[in-house]
Amino acid sequence: MNDLIPLLPKLWQASYETLYIVGLSLIFGGLGGLILGLGLYTTRSNSLFSNRPVFGVLNVLVNVFRPIPFIIFLAAAQPLARFVTGTGIGNTAIIFTLSLAAAFGISRIVEQNLLTVQPGVIEAARSVGASRSRIMLTLLIPEALGPLILGYTFIVVALVDMSAVAGYVGGGGLGTFAIQYGYRQFHPVVTWAAVLVIIVIVQLVQFLGNYLARKALRR
């Protein structure tokens, strides 16, 4: 315990940084994943913008990038991060790479949840003369909102997990804190404190997600 108390300010700082990294990655990656997922859904056969070649390209793209272990992806994408954000290290670099990786994962979750919308509902909207883009924006997303919220909640938890390796490129957060002050200094209590904070964050996120999804589904 005595090891931990002087480190508390650093723990709070690390918690803040984790929330910062996860929050921004969720915004950028979430948006990118939504667009990519809508692309996957709408270009598959018998969908709104059926387009075999485009679907094929998107599908392969997602399949190529999604399974790469994040810590390797982080290293591999460093030149790209440097090119886009101007830096290959620190929180900015990790947010960029995390958003990119998350977008591919989120796209599948979005695609799967949109597939739960009954095709008949889309047909009904087409039958009243709604344009395809109107259907996509005003109907498809609201109809799948409940499961989408749960999908995004799942992703936030995954982002917390992935953000823990930020230290490898000089980023901060609870992962860096736990390794630097806990593991390397032989202070398991410090590591466990970081674990505890992560558990609290994950619980709160899941609680919020469940609540919002319940509201969207009205049950």
Partner 1 sequence: MPLISLRDVTKSYPPSSRGGAVVHAVQGLNLDIEAGDIYGIIGYSGAGKSTLVRLINALEDATSGSILVDGDEVTRMKESELRRLRLGIGMIFQQFNLFNSKTVAGNVAYPLEVAKTPRADIAPRVAELLDFVGLSDKARNYPEQLSGGQKQRVGIARALATSPRILLADEATSALDPETTHEVLELLKRVNTEFGVTIVVITHEMDVIQTLATKVAVMDGGRIVEQGDVFDVFSKPTEASSQRFVSTVVRGVPSDAELVALRQRHPGRIVTLSFRDGNTSQGAVFSDLAQAGVAFELIYGGINDIRGRVFGHLTLALTGYADAVDRALATIATKVDVTEAPSHE
Q: Give the Cα separation of 167 and 66 in Å (integer).
A: 22
Q: What is the DSSP letter of 89?
A: S
State in angstroms the smallest separation of the CB of 114 from partner 1: 13
The answer to whether residue 139 forms part of the interface with partner 1 (CB under 8 A) is yes
Restricted to residues 191-210, the positions that interact with partner 1 (CB under 8 A) are none
Contact string (CB under 8 A) for partner 1, positions 59-98, x = contact: ----------------------------------------
Contact string (CB under 8 A) for partner 1, positions 160-189, x = contact: ------------------------------
Give, in order, the Cα–Cα distances in Å from 188 to each of 15, 174, 179, 182. 18, 14, 10, 6
The answer to whether residue 9 forms part of the interface with partner 1 (CB under 8 A) is no
Q: Which of 80, 89, 130, 157 touches partner 1 (CB under 8 A)?
A: 130
Q: Give the Cα separation of 206 and 198 in Å (integer).
A: 12
Q: Which of 6, 72, 118, 186 touches partner 1 (CB under 8 A)?
A: 118
CB 194 within 8 A of CB 13: no
Tokens of 140: 């498809």
Stretch that binds partner 1, among 22-30, 131-139, 163-171, 194-202 (CB under 8 A): 131-139
State in angstroms the smallest separation of the CB of 6 from partner 1: 52
Position of tokens 């999908």? 151
As to burial, measured by CB atoms within 10 angstroms (0-12 exposed, 13-18 middle, 19+ buried), residue 139 is middle
The answer to whether residue 123 forms part of the interface with partner 1 (CB under 8 A) is yes
CB 37 within 8 A of CB 106: yes
State in angstroms the smallest separation of the CB of 137 from partner 1: 12
> What's the angle, vertex CA 21, arms to CA 17 and CA 22, rounded to 5?
115
The answer to whether residue 124 forms part of the interface with partner 1 (CB under 8 A) is yes
Interacting residues toward partner 1 by CB under 8 A:
118, 120-121, 123-131, 134, 139, 142-143, 145, 218
